[in-house]
Amino acid sequence: DSFHAALVAEWGSLVIAFIGFNDVIPILKSSRRVCIFLDGTHVRTKKGGVLLLAVLQDSDSHTCILSAGYCQSERRATWHLFLHHVRRQLSQHGVDLGEQVFISDRDKGLQSAISAVFPECEHVYCVVHISRNIGGGKDVRQKLTQVAKATHPQQYRILYGKLTERTQMYLQDSLQPQHWAVLYGRLPRQSTVTSNAIEGVNFALKQVRSLFVLDMFEGILHWNVQHIEQKRQEYNRRQQSIVKNAQKQLDIRTDDARRILASSIHCYSVLNRYKV
């Protein structure tokens, strides 16, 4: 039950290989806030193709791969089929689909596929990709990111007012605030406003993407297991550190309490002796 795998041929010549990692699904159920990132990146082989990924990031910013797919080209049909298998994977394990947030770029095929396959989910866009469409470089990206992370209406209005007229016109004409600003989102996602999590995974899989499909999937599996184990060890080390620090503070407080108690008993004895 650790994997959900399929090799599908539908819609004529459309072929997609899919693998889902079911072991990471408990993260969706246990974490306070989980985002699902979607992206497609080119495979570095002679035959080419595209690697489709669904990546989870929990409230502690830990990332892992939920699902991976291989297809010849990235378009609405391939995204639709990929997300269909992601939905089956999640539904079979009792995940509340209405509580999921997808983050991606503004690829029209992907937008259409998410709306069709996950109509109950929230879909927001990466502000880095939005800023690239606007132009203006680092300054526009930084200011737009600040607005997107605003958590209070007054803060949002002040920061929004600092955006250039061109940026404001683009946002008004192209996007609703709920599609990019945390403040107006339906579900909590803290300060997550970019797709950097999945971009980082794509970079980490750079060498794996040069392998043929089955070897590539094996490499993705190896990376996922290794990455999760590394994060688990880091978590255990932090927990041990927290316990040791708590025990140290408890010992200090205990010693303080003993000294205070001893001093109080001594004062009581003196007062009782002289009947003050």
- Grade residue 230 by pLDDT with cuts at 50, 70 and 90: confident
- Locate all alpha helices (DSSP H) within the chain, ordered by sequence: 25-30, 76-91, 108-117, 127-134, 137-149, 153-161, 165-174, 196-204, 213-273
DSSP string, 213-240: HHHHHHHHHHHHHHHHHHHHHHHHHHHH
User: How many whole angstroms separate alpha carbon 119 and alpha carbon 220?
Assistant: 29
Read off the pTM.
0.79
The three-class DSSP label of residue 64 is: strand
Task: Give the pLDDT band of residue 270 (cuts 50, 70, 90).
Answer: very low
For residue range 167-183, list pLDDT tens digits in order: 999 999 989 999 999 99
Structure-token match 């002796």, residue found? 273
Tens-digit pLDDT profile for residues 5-20: 666 654 445 567 888 8
What pLDDT is recorded for position 57? 85
* Residue 82, CB-side half-sphere exposure with 13 Å CA sphere: 29
pLDDT in tens, 179-201: 999 999 888 777 889 999 999 99
Phi-psi map region of 220: left, alpha, beta (phi>0 left; psi -120 to 50 alpha):
alpha
**Range with the poorest average pLDDT among 19-28, 126-135, 238-247:** 238-247
Per-residue model confidence as pLDDT tens digits over 70-114: 988 888 989 998 999 899 989 888 888 888 899 999 999 999 999
- Which pair of structure tokens corresponds to residue 262? 């001893």
The pLDDT score that the predictor gives to residue 3 is: 62
pLDDT averaged over the chain? Answer: 83
Q: Exposed (0-12), middle (13-18) or buried (19+): which is 2, by Cβ within 10 Å?
A: exposed
pLDDT at site 2: 61
